[in-house]
Amino acid sequence: MQNIFDYDLKSLCSRFAELNIPKFRAKQVFLWLHKKLVFDFSLMSDLPLELREVLSQNFAIGLPRIIKTFKSKDKTIKFLFGLSDGTRIESVLLKSSDGRFTICVSTQVGCPLACAFCATGQSGFKRNLTASEIIGQVYLITKNFPGVTNIVYMGMGEPFLNYANVVKSINVLISKEGLNFGQRKISISTSGIPEKIRIFAAEDWQVRLAVSLNSADERIRSRLMPINKKIPLSRIKDAIKYYISRTGRRVTLEYIMIKDVNDTPDALVSLLDFCQGLLVNVNLIPFNSIGGSFKASEIKTVNLFLRTLINNKINVNLRNRRGEDIQAACGQLAFKPL
Ligand code: SAH
Ligand code: SF4
């Protein structure tokens, strides 16, 4: 049986036509599923009973299911989802002091890029998520915790290695017949895949882009992110420049601060150099331990980075550490038993 969440509104209309169901019914059903978040045909009260019956004979309602939730002291909540093939993923809901309520979604089961500092990367790679598995994380969390203000594609996996499904999921999330989620309230974080950054720049929307830089020095970046051996920084920088010129939008550069690895005075000079002339916003991220030899930078080093970037007129933020006690912090998602 086909999963009804695999259809966008247009393809649902065509499928309904094949089943001799009037087109306007597709819109009604879409509203129930994607706006009212009702996941049971029998509860779709404005549909004739026979139609509800036909729908349940022809379509499955296939969404991930929440297996377990973990609540942190700082109110961060981590969700462990089970997928239809028995694999598992995690998503996180974060409440910021400025009132933002952000869902961090996964796009792959594991991640093939194996960054040295990231638990997901160390856990290996199983497969891409389907669009409905991505949307499903948002729907189930929103249904349980209304009032979500932001969505970040920053959980497990590399979104730009699952580009088609990521785009499909965004189109459904921002659709008027669905959650109608604000485009500017959605961000995608990528390790930096130049061809996809260029394609992303041409998408007709306002979704934001973040690039995990982590080092502006080839040697150090290759040590941290093996993909850098194949894609030099100059190509990433060119793609970012293209994105900015095409969209006029600022790009966030994420920089995890790791003691004595990418927080040296030389590393700072390389970072300043990389940012020169780019419309960027640097997000300094405290390193969250994943049990290896890396350590978080000292506060005085983080402050030096902050001050120097500000003095050089580069926008900079320091990300709060959240959910560390439940392994829900950035880079810690790898469904380790607690
Ligand atoms: N693959 C994408 C998105 C998922 S990773 C990417 O790399 O951008 C999401 C974020 O978690 C990235 O900003 C990454 O730099 C950060 N991250 C990974 N491991 C981390 C760790 N141990 N401590 C802090 N941040 C980490
Ligand atoms: Fe993959 Fe991002 Fe983790 Fe690197 S940081 S391994 S790209 S999820």
pTM over 0.85: yes
pLDDT of residue 338: 42
- Cβ neighbour number for residue 50 with a 10 Å cutoff: 8
**For residue 189, how far is its CA from the centre of ligand 2 (angstroms)?**
10
d(CA 109, CA 124): 9
From first to last of its 338 residues, what are the pLDDT tens digits of the chain?
A: 899 999 999 999 999 999 999 999 999 999 999 999 999 999 999 999 999 999 999 999 999 999 999 999 888 999 999 999 999 999 999 998 889 999 999 999 999 999 999 999 998 999 999 999 999 999 999 999 999 999 999 999 999 999 999 999 999 999 999 999 999 999 999 999 999 999 999 999 999 999 999 999 999 999 999 999 999 999 999 999 999 999 999 999 999 999 999 999 999 999 999 999 999 999 999 999 888 899 999 999 999 999 999 999 999 999 877 777 767 666 677 755 44
Residue 208: phi and psi, rounded to 5, are -90, 155
Q: Is the CB of 244 under 6 A from ligand 2?
A: no
Per annotation, catalytic residue among 13, 104, 275, 330: 330
Domains of the chain, start order: 2-60 (1.10.150.530), 65-326 (3.20.20.70)
pLDDT of residue 331: 66
The answer to whether residue 324 is catalytic is no
Contacts of residue 186, defined as CB under 8 A and 6 or more positions apart, other chains included, come to: 150, 151, 152, 153, 170, 173, 174, 207, 208
Task: Write the burial class of residue 48 (CB in 10 Å: 0-12 exposed, 13-18 middle, 19+ buried).
Answer: exposed
Candidate of 212, 223, 256, 290 to mutate for ligand 2, largest count of ligand atoms within 8 Å of Cβ: 212
- Locate the ligand 1 atom nearest the alpha carbon of residue 210 and give its number: 8
pLDDT of residue 323: 76
pLDDT of residue 337: 43
pLDDT of residue 336: 52
| Measured CA distances, 91 to 54, 76, 126, 137 (Å) | 34, 11, 17, 7
**For residue 161, how far is its CA from the centre of ligand 1 (angstroms)?**
15
Residue with structure tokens 């006690």? 325
- Locate the ligand 2 atom nearest the alpha carbon of residue 189 and give its number: 2
- Cβ neighbour number for residue 42 with a 10 Å cutoff: 12
d(CA 145, CA 100): 13
pLDDT of residue 21: 96
Residue with structure tokens 């300094």? 284
pLDDT of residue 330: 64
pLDDT of residue 103: 97
The answer to whether residue 195 is catalytic is no
pLDDT of residue 218: 98
Nearest CA to 4 among 149, 135, 150?
135
* Ligand with smallest separation from the Cα of 224: 2
Tokens read off for 187: 């961000």
d(CA 70, CA 323): 9
